[in-house]
Amino acid sequence: MTWTTLKSDLAGAGYVASDDLAVALQLALSLGRPLLLEGAAGVGKTEVARVLAAVQHAKLIRLQCYEGLDASQAIYEWNYQRQLLSIRAAAEDGVTGKAVEDRIFSRAFLLERPLLAAITQDTPPVLLIDEVDRADEEFEAYLLEILSDFQISIPELGTITATSRPIVILTSNGTRDLSDALRRRCLYTYVDYPDRGTELAILQARCPDVEAHLADQIVGFVQKLRTEDLEKTPGIAEMLDFAAALMGLGIADLTDDPSVLQAALTTLLKTQSDQAQITPEVAGRIAGRAA
């Protein structure tokens, strides 16, 4: 499979990937390396994994990282309550010692968390490790170990080796520098805001009902808006919301009604100062230039 076929497959599933991203994805698939995607919020990093899973007919397993994420939330945990009940039940039945121990430390009492689940699938799943920069650095080190060996050792059970190697996609918003070790292990792509043509293709793929003229205006408007000095630059998801809002309001042309345009801007501008900055006059001017 070449990257062009992968790109058209993704497009078929509704994701318009840039050439850079398509090559990187194809390399990640064929070399079996994790792929690290970095970029601003709302450029479609998480969506890549979702669509890739759909295209590959694989299961998507998602691990959302957050500060304080630890092994019991990411890898595995014993089901203590059930173990306790089992011990009590065993005591009533008169079973003791090794038999109880064997029973309560078996796979039936193991709660699989995303990382363990990802390596014990029959077919290779897509493992999405979302916002890895939010996790602590200690967790990053642990993650590295799993990404290199694809095996997890559980003291009570022994080592569990991967039955299938997952396709790993990591995303990062760059809230902190990731360690060099992690970067070295991964392929890397920086996902930027799409250019006008790409964004238009995305809009048409996601909202096929939008008329060509309006779609062109919407994309032009959002592209121009991104060049303004905003606190929160609108991403692709916001653009799609904006399009949906305009559709719902029954607008045929952006320049028609300034008040309706201003109302629809709530889907794009997410802070008070941004809303204050883009006054109806500014919005009208941008819409006029975008047309």
Partner 1 sequence: MSRVTKFAARDPGPAARVVGFIAHLRANGLRLGVAEAELAMAALAHVDAARPEDSRRALRAVCTGCKEEAARFDTLFDSYWMDMGRVRQKVMPTLKSPAKDHVHASRDAKGQDAAASGSAITPDAGDGDADSDGTGKLIATTQRNLNRRDLRDLVRPEEVAEAEDIARRIGAALRDQRSRRRIAARRGDRLHFRKTIRASLATGGEPIRLWHKKRPDRTRKIVALCDVSGSMSVYAQVFLAFLAGLMRADTAADAYLFHTRLVRITEALRDKDAMRAIGRMSLMADGFGGGSKIGPSLMRFADTYAKRFVDGRSVVLILSDGYDTEAPQMIGAALAKLRKRGCKVVWLNPLKGWADYAPVACGMAAALPYLDAFKAANTLQDLAALEKDLVRL
Q: Which residues bind partner 1 (CB under 8 A)?
A: 2-3, 19-20, 23-24, 26-28, 30-31, 33, 35-36, 38, 68, 78, 80-81, 83-84, 87-88, 91, 104, 137, 173-177, 180, 183-184, 186-190, 229
Residue 46 Cβ, how far from partner 1 at the closest point, in Å? 18
- CA–CA separation, 139 and 183 (whole Å): 15
Residues contacting residue 72 through CB under 8 Å, at least 6 positions apart: 113
Nearer to partner 1, 83 or 275 (CB): 83
Q: Based on the number of CB atoms within 10 Å of its own CB, is 252 exposed (0-12), middle (13-18) or buried (19 or more)?
A: exposed
Residue 72 Cβ, how far from partner 1 at the closest point, in Å? 8
Residue 263 Cβ, how far from partner 1 at the closest point, in Å? 26
- CA–CA separation, 156 and 103 (whole Å): 11
Residue 162 Cβ, how far from partner 1 at the closest point, in Å? 20
Nearer to partner 1, 28 or 251 (CB): 28
Q: What is the DSSP pairing of strand 35-38 with strand 126-130?
A: unpaired
Nearer to partner 1, 188 or 258 (CB): 188
Residue 239 Cβ, how far from partner 1 at the closest point, in Å? 20
E strands, 103-214, where? Answer: 110-112, 126-130, 151-154, 158-161, 167-172, 187-190
Residue with tokens 């043509």: 197
The tokens for 59 are 């299961």
Nearer to partner 1, 92 or 209 (CB): 92
Nearer to partner 1, 145 or 211 (CB): 145
Nearer to partner 1, 99 or 263 (CB): 99
- CA–CA separation, 202 and 5 (whole Å): 18
Residue 158 Cβ, how far from partner 1 at the closest point, in Å? 18
The tokens for 11 are 């497009």
Angle ∠(44,273,195) on CA atoms, nearest 5: 30
- CA–CA separation, 116 and 162 (whole Å): 9
Residue 252 Cβ, how far from partner 1 at the closest point, in Å? 36
Nearer to partner 1, 77 or 253 (CB): 77
